[in-house]
Amino acid sequence: MDDKVIASSHNTKQKDQLIISHAEINCIIEASKKLHNYCLDKCVLYVTLEPCQMCVGAIQQAKIKKIVFGAKDYKNGACGGLYDFFFIPKMNYYPLISYLENDECLQIIKEYFIKKRKK
């Protein structure tokens, strides 16, 4: 919002033992608390990996203005990777979506899953 970082997070579902603790949802919660408002319609959400179905639902409910992601998720992505939830007819809110293929994002995701598999 106004080119300021309001919240940042990462996936904490193993640490929290909560399936909903994805980075996007953690950021939405943190931003909503800081702004004292659940409506984040002036905010842009930057994420490494394309949001899943659950996160897309939270993004839609928070009315986030724009989503920018650097790696497609062909297994769970809901912004075009596997599904395209924001292009379902009769939805009442459609954020702008920017996919900026980024080698650094792809590397971050690869390293994350390599670490995850070793545990």
Active site residues: 24
Gap between the Cα atoms of 39 and 80, Å rounded: 24
Contacts of 66 (CB under 8 A, 6+ apart): 44, 45, 95, 96, 97, 98
H helix intervals, the chain: 13-16, 23-35, 53-62, 103-118
